[in-house]
Amino acid sequence: MDIMMGLAAATQALDIAKKLREFDQDFKASEFRLQIAELYGNLADVKIALADAKAALQEKDQEIERLKRVNEGKLKTIRIGNYNFGIGEDGKPLSKAFCPACEQSNGAQIPISRGLSGHDLCPKCQGVYDARATNLPVGFKMPE
Ligand SMILES: [Zn+2]
**C-alpha 60 to ligand 1 mean position (Å):** 25
**C-alpha 140 to ligand 1 mean position (Å):** 24
Query: Looking at the structure, do residues 102 and 128 belong to the same domain, yes or no?
Result: yes
**C-alpha 71 to ligand 1 mean position (Å):** 17
Query: Looking at the structure, do residues 31 and 46 belong to the same domain, yes or no?
Result: yes
pLDDT beyond 90 at 8: no
Give the Cα separation of 83 and 94 in Å (integer): 12
Are 93 and 87 a contacting pair, CB within 8 Å? yes
Q: What is the pLDDT confidence band of residue 77, given thresholds at 50, 70 and 90?
A: very high
**C-alpha 100 to ligand 1 mean position (Å):** 7
Q: What is the pLDDT confidence band of residue 113, given thresholds at 50, 70 and 90?
A: very high
**C-alpha 83 to ligand 1 mean position (Å):** 12
Asked whether residue 144 is assigned to any structural domain, the reply reads: no
**Domain ends where: 19, 38, 72?**
72
Are 12 and 54 a contacting pair, CB within 8 Å? no
**What integer pLDDT is reported at residue 30 of this predicted model?**
82
Are 93 and 79 a contacting pair, CB within 8 Å? no
Number of separate domains in the chain? 2
Phi, psi of 97, deg, nearest 5: -70, 160
Tell me the residue range of the domain where 112 lies: 77-134
